[in-house]
Amino acid sequence: MAIDSINNYLSTAATTSATTATSTKKTGTSMDMDDFLKLMVAQLQNQDMNNTADTSQYTTQMAQFSMVQALTELNEMTKTVYSMSLIGKEITLAENASDGSLHVVAGTVDGVNLYNGDAQVIVNGVSYPMSSIMEVAQAKSE
């Protein structure tokens, strides 16, 4: 009987790992709430009946996971709002050239590209990542 429990656990763990790998490829994140709940259910189904798990630990872990997920979403929203606030501002960007040298680009932010959850500013028709911004200033009035 002990061997069957181990085989069931290994089978469930392999399925959970495959599901997590598939989820990572689809969403780009390492783990979401669905993956966490599937893992928790697998642990509960395969626990030793003579030594059951403390459910308060699962509740605490779920609350912590929910908090981390909410903070991650808040961080993404903050990046979006900040990038949009840069429209019309004068910025200075650092860009690495193909030969490894640093190229400085200055100009007015014409727009923002929010494709795939990654905010990029558009200066002179070219998209640059937010991490390349070195300086932000108010646009000079003419």
Q: Within this chain, do residues 129 and 71 fall inside the same structural domain, yes or no?
A: no
Flag whether 22 is in a domain: yes
- How would you write the pLDDT of the chain (142 residues) with one tens digit per residue? 444 444 444 444 444 444 444 444 445 557 777 887 888 788 878 887 787 777 787 788 888 888 988 998 898 889 889 999 999 999 999 988 888 888 899 999 999 998 877 889 999 999 999 889 999 999 877 6
Output the pLDDT for position 142: 61
Q: Within this chain, do residues 62 and 116 fall inside the same structural domain, yes or no?
A: no
**Domain ranges, residue 122:** 86-137
Residue 94: CATH number of its domain? 2.30.30
Output the pLDDT for position 9: 46
Output the pLDDT for position 28: 56
Flag whether 142 is in a domain: no
- The reported pTM is 0.56
| Burial (CB count <10 Å: 0-12, 13-18, 19+), residue 72 | exposed
Task: Count the domains in the chain.
Answer: 2
Output the pLDDT for position 123: 94
Output the pLDDT for position 111: 93
Q: Within this chain, do residues 35 and 72 fall inside the same structural domain, yes or no?
A: yes
Output the pLDDT for position 41: 83
Give the separation between CA 51 and CA 72, rounded to whole angstroms: 35
**Three-state DSSP state, 1:** coil
Max Cα–Cα distance, the chain, nearest Å: 82
Q: Within this chain, do residues 24 and 71 fall inside the same structural domain, yes or no?
A: yes
Give the separation between CA 21 and CA 41, rounded to whole angstroms: 18
User: Among the three residues 38, 66, 81, which one is the final residue of a domain in this structure?
Assistant: 81
Give the separation between CA 131 and CA 120, rounded to whole angstroms: 9
Q: Within this chain, do residues 77 and 118 fall inside the same structural domain, yes or no?
A: no
Q: Within this chain, do residues 31 and 72 fall inside the same structural domain, yes or no?
A: yes
